[in-house]
């Protein structure tokens, strides 16, 4: 658009410059005619008798006048051509200027539309950030209270256990024989036996350690953090490791990866003491790995149980097969006896058939009695 404005200004300046040049040329020509006229008048005053010079001057003025007329006509023609050219250029410039304005308007409209869309996205993101800030404040309020923090750890523990283990493999808030309630009891076969998982969240000492500004505050925070961890380890070892009822170890669940990392990075002595007390400290990630291992152990135990059942069923199946073989042998004996009886029956049937045929072929004589006719043939066998 700025380039088009510059072109229009250059064309207008050219028009004015050309008109001024023509006018100056015409003005100079008239001045020249006036000067020649003055010289002519003076020459007439000096040389009144020089008619030849006067005639020449008149011819020169006539030629000059003709030249001026020709120049005026050419100037008018040039001015008309210039006006036509300028008019065409102005039309083109106007068209370009209109196209440029239309394109600029379209680009501006598109840019405003994109800007509106992005502003809507920014507003939504701002809303999400505001909601997230509110949730962070609520979470901070929850973690600042010991009871709420404990409930938070128990809920996270419940979610992890219920997602990985089958319902028959665990229990929540299980009362032990000593009257204590365990946050979670993982039911494993002996060995090792049931394992107790207790959720603890020692956050005060960790916050003190993070906010310590000098060496004195740091030492106090370290002492507080170690004392909190060891107190929880001692409580779990005394309450939830019961001989003959649970395994020889228990788990302390820390629902914070940051606290767990700080403990295992800078407080290895506390971790070693917890190992000696047979209390294993786990985070959400390590607890998930432990629960997957427990699930594999439970699966292996079930497979061993099923293997015993399968072995017992196989022994019973073998006994059933032996019994079936004995009964098949007895059935084969019965088949032999039946076959023998059937053979004897077939023999009797053949004899009866033979006797009937003989009776049918006999022709009784008048001298013979029926008893003689029916008398068996010598050497024939009786029916058995």
> Where exactly are the structural domains of the chain?
1-38+66-114, 147-301
Residues 127-158 have pLDDT tens digits of 777 766 655 545 455 455 555 656 677 888 88
Q: What is the pLDDT of residue 27?
A: 62
Local confidence band at 380 (pLDDT 50, 70, 90 cut-offs): very low
Rounded to 5 degrees, what angle do the CA atoms 141, 146, 147 make?
95
Residues 266-299 have pLDDT tens digits of 888 888 998 898 999 888 888 888 888 888 888 8
d(CA 131, CA 123): 12
Between 27-31, 202-206, 227-231, the lowest mean confidence (pLDDT) is in 27-31
pLDDT value at 13 more than 70: no
In this structure, what are the phi and psi dihedrals at residue 216, rounded to the nearest 5 degrees?
-65, -45
Q: What is the pLDDT of residue 63?
A: 73
pLDDT value at 101 more than 60: yes
Alpha helices in the chain (DSSP H): 2-46, 51-144, 146-164, 203-211, 215-240, 257-266, 268-276, 284-361, 370-374
Q: What is the pLDDT of residue 379?
A: 43
Reading the block at residue 266, the tokens are 């800078």
pLDDT value at 191 more than 50: yes
Q: Which of 152, 165, 241, 247 is nearest to 200 (CA)?
A: 152
Mean pLDDT to the nearest integer, 351-373: 65
pLDDT > 70 in the chain, percent: 73
Residues 195-226 have pLDDT tens digits of 898 888 777 777 788 777 888 888 888 888 88
Q: Which of 189, 221, 190, 224 is nearest to 208 (CA)?
A: 221
Residues 311-358 have pLDDT tens digits of 788 888 888 888 888 888 888 888 888 888 888 888 888 888 888 888
Domain 147-301 has CATH 3.40.1350: yes
d(CA 358, CA 351): 11
Beta bridge partners of 58: none
Q: What is the pLDDT of residue 73?
A: 74
pLDDT > 90 in the chain, percent: 0
pLDDT value at 120 more than 60: yes
Q: How far apart are the first and last CA of the chain?
A: 138
pLDDT value at 369 more than 60: no
- Summary mean pLDDT of the chain: 75
Q: What is the model's pTM?
A: 0.45
In the sheet that holds 279-282, the strands lie side by side as: 170-175, 181-186, 195-199, 250-253, 279-282
In this structure, what are the phi and psi dihedrals at residue 196, rounded to the nearest 5 degrees?
-90, 135
pLDDT value at 361 more than 70: yes
Matching residue, tokens 């394992």: 195
β-strand pairing of 250-253 with 181-186? unpaired
Q: What is the pLDDT of residue 8?
A: 45
In this structure, what are the phi and psi dihedrals at residue 362, rounded to the nearest 5 degrees?
-80, 145
């Amino acid at each position: 658009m700025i380039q088009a404005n510059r072109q229009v200004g250059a064309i207008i300046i050219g028009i004015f410059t050309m008109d001024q040049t023509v006018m100056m040329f015409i003005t100079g020509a008239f001045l020249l005619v006036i000067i020649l006229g003055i010289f002519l008048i003076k020459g007439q005053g000096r040389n009144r008798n020089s008619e030849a010079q006067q005639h020449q001057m008149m011819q020169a003025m006539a030629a000059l006048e003709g030249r001026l007329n020709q120049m005026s006509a050419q100037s008018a023609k040039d001015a008309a051509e210039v006006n036509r050219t300028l008019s065409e250029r102005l039309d083109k410039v106007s068209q370009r200027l209109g196209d440029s304005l239309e394109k600029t308007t379209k680009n501006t409209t598109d840019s405003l539309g994109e800007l509106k869309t992005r502003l809507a996205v920014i507003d939504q993101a701002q809303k999400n950030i505001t909601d997230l800030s509110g949730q962070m404040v609520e979470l901070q309020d929850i973690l600042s209270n010991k009871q709420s923090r404990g409930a938070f750890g128990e809920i996270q523990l419940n979610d992890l256990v219920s997602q990985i283990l089958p319902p028959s493999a665990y229990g929540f808030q299980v009362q032990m024989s000593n009257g204590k309630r365990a946050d979670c009891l993982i039911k494993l076969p002996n060995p090792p036996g049931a394992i107790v998982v207790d959720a603890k969240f020692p956050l005060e000492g960790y916050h003190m350690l993070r906010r310590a500004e000098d060496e004195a505050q740091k030492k106090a925070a370290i002492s507080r953090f170690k004392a909190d961890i060891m107190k929880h380890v001692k409580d779990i070892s005394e309450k939830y490791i019961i001989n003959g009822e649970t395994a020889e170890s228990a788990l302390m669940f820390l629902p914070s990866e940051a606290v767990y990392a700080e403990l295992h990075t800078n407080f290895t002595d506390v971790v070693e003491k917890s190992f000696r007390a047979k209390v294993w400290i786990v985070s959400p990630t390590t607890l998930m790995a432990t629960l997957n291992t427990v699930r594999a152990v439970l699966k292996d135990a079930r497979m061993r149980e099923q293997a015993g059942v399968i072995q017992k069923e196989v022994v019973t199946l073998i006994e059933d097969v032996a019994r079936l073989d004995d009964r098949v042998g007895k059935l084969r004996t019965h088949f032999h006896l039946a076959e023998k009886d059937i053979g004897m029956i077939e023999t009797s049937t053949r004899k009866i058939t033979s006797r009937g045929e003989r009776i049918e072929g006999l022709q009784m004589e008048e001298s013979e009695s029926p008893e003689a006719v029916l008398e068996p043939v010598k050497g024939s066998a009786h029916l058995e």
